[in-house]
Amino acid sequence: MTDARSNPSDDGGLRITARTIPSPRSISIEARRSLARFAAIAGATEFPSLDDDAGWRAHIEEYNSAILRDFISSAQEVGVECRTRIVSGVTVYDVVPASATWNSERIYVEVHGGALIYLQGEGCRLAAISTASRTHMRTIAVDYRVPPDHPYPAALDDCVAVYEDLLKHHLPRNIVIGGASAGG
C-alpha cells in the first residue's frame, strides 16, 4: 500500500505532493529569520504550473534579482582573480585569492545555493568570490544548468562532470566540495 502523500512516477521516481516544511528549531533565531526572508522572496509570487516554462523563467529571474541585491553587497572582488572557464562542457568560475596563504594544489568546488533552480550566472560568480575570499583557497564554482530548460538531475550531472575533470589534475584529498543551501 502506498502513502497517500507519495507514489511512484512513470519513470520510477517518487512523486511527492506539496507540503509545508517547518523551519528547524535547532538553528539560531538569526538563521530562522534568514530562512524566513528567503522564503518570503521565493513565495512573493505564485509558483507557475510545472508546464509553464515562460512562467518559470520569469519567476527565476524575479527571485535571482531579489537575492543578487544581497550578494552584491557582501561579495568583495578586492583580492581575487576571477576567470570564466568551460570544464567538461560546464561553465565554471575559477576564483583565485591574492592571499599568500592559499595552496595551489587545493581546490574548493563551490556548488552554489538556490535549490538547484536559482542563482545561476552572476549569483554563482558572486558566491565563488565570497568563498575564495573567506577560505583563501582557489575556488571552482559550478554554474550548473537549471530548469525549466534543464530539469533535474542536470545540475547534479554538471557538478559530477566538473569533479571528475578535476580528479584528472588533483588528488581527491586536495578537493573540498561545499556550498550553501543546495550546495551544502
Q: Measured between alpha carbons, how far is 117 from 165 in angstroms, rounded to an integer?
A: 23
Ranges of H-type helices in the chain: 29-42, 53-74, 122-135, 154-167
Question: Rounded to two decimals, what is the model's pTM?
Answer: 0.76
Q: What is the pLDDT of residues 38-72, one digit of tens each?
A: 667 665 557 788 889 999 899 888 888 877 776 66
Domains and CATH numbers, the chain: 25-184 (3.40.50.1820)
**pLDDT of 117-175, one tens digit each?**
888 999 899 889 888 888 888 999 999 999 999 999 999 999 999 999 999 999 999 99
Which has more pLDDT, 34 or 168?
Answer: 168
